């Protein structure tokens, strides 16, 4: 203001700054560009159909093709009838087991699910090769009857071998040493299971197969076995109501502690 008054006294025209009035229109805002909606007519009909169907229908895994069927085997002789399956001496007609003409075949009983058989396959594959553990050669968990093909054992179970050869074994002066050797090989198998964190849960004479006594005896039947590296298997090792287990062969701590562990295997052994 002082500058304007001084210019007016000196006779010079004062430059008064222009202040925009309230009536003046506000400056025009910038033009907002709205993106155009994509033209779906440019898409192919097949692309639109795939987009809709992928959201409407869930993904389904491909169907498994059975590796072999019962028709590919010739069942020769019954070895034993277990709680979950029946063991046979069998001859292979068609399979992926090259070099094996005679095998041991386990056929799952009615009511056994593919998941149970897959669990047994998983455990046997985890155990891999050991001279005193039954070796898995092939399997079929894609369609019923579910089957496992294992190596052939000449004399069946240790229980049936002892029953059939009772007189010869009693007359043998080396009987005690022979059973000591067989027990040693069974212990080696159980030590291998312990190193893999696998609990057999059904160790008995009926689940020991004999190829050449006493040097070739092998632990078999892993239907109740549990992999303790999995949390689900740890929980399932606890006693469940209405679960069929071989109570006659189970250790006392199973009924007291409600749990089956490696200590229980030692008691049974």
Percent of the chain with pLDDT over 90: 43
Dig out the tokens for 256 from the structure.
């007291």
Q: How far apart are CA 173 and CA 267, in angstroms?
A: 28
Question: Buried b / exposed e across 149-177, counting CB within 10 Å, b at 16+?
Answer: bbbbbebbbbebbeeeeeeeeeeeeeeee
Q: Which residues pair with 81 in a beta bridge?
A: 86
Report pLDDT for 98. Answer: 76
User: Domain spanning 70-268 has what CATH number?
Assistant: 1.10.510.10
The larger pLDDT score, comparing residue 32 to residue 172, is at 172
pLDDT-derived band at 164, boundaries 50, 70, 90? very high
Domain ranges of the chain: 70-268
Q: Is pTM beyond 0.85 here?
A: no
How does pLDDT run across 130-163, given as a tens digit for each residue?
Answer: 999 999 999 999 989 999 999 999 999 999 999 9
Tell me the average pLDDT across 177-194: 95
């Amino acid at each position: 203001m002082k500058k304007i008054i001084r210019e007016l006294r000196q006779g010079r025209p004062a430059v008064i700054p222009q202040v925009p009035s309230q009536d003046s229109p506000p400056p025009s805002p910038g033009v907002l560009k709205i993106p155009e909606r994509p033209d779906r007519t440019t898409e192919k009909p097949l692309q639109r159909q795939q987009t809709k169907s992928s959201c409407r229908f869930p993904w389904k895994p491909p169907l498994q093709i059975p590796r072999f069927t019962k028709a590919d085997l010739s069942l020769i002789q019954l070895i034993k009838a277990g709680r979950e399956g029946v063991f046979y001496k069998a001859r292979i007609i068609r399979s992926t087991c090259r070099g094996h003409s005679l095998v041991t075949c386990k056929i799952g009983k009615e009511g056994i699910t593919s998941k149970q058989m897959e669990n047994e396959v998983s455990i046997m594959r985890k155990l891999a090769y050991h001279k005193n553990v039954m070796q898995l050669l092939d399997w079929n968990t894609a369609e019923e009857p579910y089957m496992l093909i294992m190596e052939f054992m000449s004399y069946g179970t240790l229980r049936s071998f002892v029953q059939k050869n009772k007189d010869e074994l009693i007359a043998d002066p080396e009987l005690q040493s022979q059973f000591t050797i067989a027990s040693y090989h069974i212990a080696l198998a159980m030590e291998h299971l312990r190193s893999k964190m696998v609990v057999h849960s059904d160790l008995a004479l009926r689940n020991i197969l004999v190829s050449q006594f006493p040097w070739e005896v092998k632990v078999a039947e892993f239907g109740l076995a549990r992999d303790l590296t999995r949390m689900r298997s740890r929980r399932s090792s606890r006693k469940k109501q209405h679960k069929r287990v071989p109570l006659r062969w189970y250790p006392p701590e199973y009924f007291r502690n409600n749990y089956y562990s490696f200590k229980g295997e030692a008691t049974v052994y």
